[in-house]
Structure 1
Amino acid sequence: MFKEMYIKAAGTTFYVKRTDVPDSDLTIIMDAGYGDDSSTWKMLSPELETETSVFMYDRAGLGKSKPASRPRTSLHMINELKDLLKKADIKPPYLLVGHSFGGVNMSLFACTYPHDVYGLILIDSTPVDYQKRFLPLMSREFQQSYKKQFTLEGTYDEFAASLAQLEKNLYVLDIPVTILSAGNKAHYTLETQEYWHDLQKEMAAISTRSKFMIAANSSHYIHQDDSEFVINTILKMIKSIKVRSPQ
C-alpha cells in the first residue's frame, strides 16, 4: 500500500507517494512529464507496489508540492530530487523511470549520479535536439501550440536549457536502459512518426546495454494507453538486474 507524505527538502516541501517492500533490492524512482504530477502513474501503481519499493513525487510547484525558488531546469530538479531522496532515507540503487520531460531529468540524474543507478526506462522521452531537429518539421500551428504550453513549470527557455544540460552531460553508461517510443502520436504524419522513432533510437547511445521498443498503438502517454506494456517492461528490467553494492 502506498503511503502519502510531505517531506521538506531543497528549501521547499514535496508531496511523496512511496511503498517500501521488505528486502527489496532497489527502489523505482518515477518522474512525470512536463506539468504532470505523480497522479499520472496511477494505472501502474497497483501492479508495482507489491514487487519492489516505489517512490513517486510531485516536482516543486506541481500537484501538492510547494514551489521552489530555483530555476525550473533539469539540473536544479535532479539536485532537488537527490536531496529529497536523502531526506526520505531512500538509499540506492535506483531504477529510474521517466516520461517525456521526466525522461530528460532521469537521464541527467543517471549521468550525474551513475553509481546510484542500476537501470533506466525512458517513456517517449524528449530528445535533446527536439527543438532543433524535430519541431521545425511540424506545422506552424503545432509549433505555436507546443511553445504556448510552457506555463505550468518553467518557461520554454528553461526547457531548452534543460535539454542543453543533458546534451552537455551525456556519456555512455553501463546499465540496462529501455526506450519506449509511442507509435500513434497525434498530429504526426507517417514521415514524422518514423522520424520520431529514429530520434528515440538515437537515445540508445546513453548505454552499452540499451533496448528500443515501440508501443505501436499508444499516444505520448504510453503508461496510460498501454499500462501493461510499461509494467511488464519495468518488471523484466527488475528481474534482469543483478544488484551489487554501489562503488
Structure 2
Amino acid sequence: MRRIALGAVGVVALVVLAGAAFEGLSRAAAARSFPPPGRLVDVGGGRRIQLDCRGTGAPVVVFESGLDTLGSLSWTRVQPQVATTTRACAYSRAGIMWSDPASGSFDVRREAQDLHNALAAAGEKPPFVMVGHSLGGPYLLTYTGQYGGEVAGLVFVDASHPDQIARLRDAIGRDVPESAGMIKAANALAWSGAVRLFAPKGAVAPASAPPGMVAIATAWQPQSIRGAVRESDALTKTLAIAGQSRRLGDRPLVVLTRTAKAPPEALKAMGLSADEGRKMDDEWRAMQDDEATWSTRGRHQFAPNASHYIQLDQPQVVIAAVQDVVSQVRADASARPR
C-alpha cells in the first residue's frame, strides 16, 4: 500500500510538473506570436503599461476597458474607425494582457495615475475624451476627479454606477450573488496549464468578438486573470472612491445602455429568478438614467440588440457617440476667445 501511495504521489507530481512546463512554454509562445500593439510605456519604477495610440488630431480619445482580461483588445471594433478622424488610444491596465503587474492590492487612484503617467510618457497631450466600458466608467470618474483639467468629454458604455451594489440589492431584496468565484478559482490554477486546457469556449470574450481578437485574448488569458481578480477584490472600494467624482460639470457626456436581456442560463448560473432578472434590468436602466444627469450636457441612448459589450455587438453606436462628443469638444475649443 505504501508503494502504491508513493507511486500515486509520483504520478501526480509528474502531471503537475508537466502542466507547469506546458504553461511556461505556452506563455513564451504567446509573447512571440502576439506582441503588444502600440508600445510598452514606463510609468515609473521600471513598470510598463501597454499603450496603443493611432491616428492624428485633437482631442485625443482614450479608451478604458471593463473588468475583464481583454485590455486594449476590448476596443478592436471601435478604435480603428475613431482613429480615422482623431487620435485614439487604448491601453491595458496593470497585470492585464501585455502590461506589467503592480504590487499590492488594487487602488483605483493608482490606476488613474498609471494611465496619466502612460499618456504623459508617450507624449499624448490633453484635452482627452474618455470612453469607459462597464467598470471602466468608475475608473474614468476617478481619473476625472484627479486630472479634471485634462478631461473634456466622456462616453460611458453600459458603465457601472457607484451605487450599484446597494441599489441592485434593494431592487431584488437580497445581495446579488457573487460572480467572481470561477475567475478566482481559475487564478489559483493559472500556473498549472489547466485554464489554457480546460477553460470553457466563450469564457474569454462574448460571441460577437472577432476570431482574431479571441485568439490573442485566449493566449494571454492565464497571465491576465490575476490582474482581473485583483480589481474584482477592490470593487466596493473602487465604486466608493469613484462616486466622489460623479459631478462632471458641463462636459459633453453620452451614456450608452444595453437593451438585450440576460439569457435564462446566465440568470440560472447566478442563482437569479426571471423576476429578479427583470428587476435588476429595470434598476440598471434607472442608474444609467442617473449617470446622464451628472453633466448638464449629458444624454442617454439605448443600443439596440446589444449586450453588455456594446462596443463588440454594435460598434457603430459607440463610434457615433464618440464622434458626437469629439465634435462638441472641438466646437467648445473654437468658441473660446483666442
- Distance between the aligned counterparts of 1:63 and 1:3, measured in 2? 11
| Residue of structure 2 in register with 1:154 after alignment | 230
Matches within 5 A, 1:134-173: 134-135=168-169, 137=171, 143-146=177-180, 149=183, 152-154=228-230, 156-173=232-249
Is the 1:31–1:99 contact (alpha carbons within 8 Å) kept by the matching residues of 2?
Answer: yes
The answer to whether residue 258 in structure 2 is matched with residue 182 in structure 1 is yes
Are 2:121 and 1:33 equivalent residues in the alignment? no
Equivalent residue runs for 1:48-67 within 5 Å = 48-67=82-101
On the 8 A contact 1:147/1:156 being kept in 2, the answer is no
Q: Specify the alignment match of 1:229 in structure 2.
A: 317
Alpha-carbon shift at residue 137 of structure 1 (Å): 4.3
Report Cα offsets for 1:24-58 as digits up to 9, x if no partner: 12100000001231111111123112110011111
Assess, with a 3 A threshold, how the Cα gap between structure 1 residues 132 and 139 changes in structure 2: closer, same or farther.
closer
- Classify the secondary structure of the residue corresponding to 2:251: strand
Cα separation, 1, equivalents of 2:315 and 2:304: 13
Amino acid at match of 2:258: A
CA contact (8 A) 1:136 1:143 kept: no
State the SS of the aligned residue for 1:161: helix
The 3-state SS of whatever aligns with 2:293 is helix
TM-score (norm 2): 0.66
User: d(CA) in 1 for partners of 2:297 and 2:258?
Assistant: 21
The structure carrying a bigger helix percent of its residues is: 2
Larger C-alpha radius of gyration, 1 or 2? 2
CA distance 1:172–1:235, shift in 2 (3 Å): closer
Question: How far did 1:216 drift?
Answer: 3.2
**Is there any run of 5+ residues in structure 2 with no aligned partner, and where?**
1-35, 185-225, 268-273
Q: How does 1:105-120 map to 2 (within 5 A)?
A: 105-120=139-154
Given candidates 189, 195, 219, the residue that maps to 2:283 is 195
Equivalent position to 2:128, from 88, 94, 97: 94
Indicate conservation of the 8 Å contact 2:137/2:157, yes or no: yes
- Greater fraction of residues in strand: 1
Q: Which runs of 4 or more aligned residues in structure 1 lie more than 4 Å from their structure 2 counterparts after TM superposition?
A: 135-142, 146-151
Tell me the equivalent position of 1:84.
Answer: 118
Partner of 1:128: 162
Query: For structure 1, which segment, 58-67 or 6-15, has the greater mean C-alpha deviation from structure 2 after superposition?
Result: 6-15
Unaligned residue ranges in structure 1 (runs of 5+): none
Residue 15 of structure 1 corresponds to which residue in structure 2? 50
Q: Is the 8 A contact 1:61 1:153 kept in 2?
A: no
Identity level (%): 24
Distance (whole Å) between structure 1 residues aligned to residue 312 and residue 174 of structure 2: 28
Does 35-44 or 218-227 show the bigger shift? 35-44
Report deviation, 1:206.
2.0
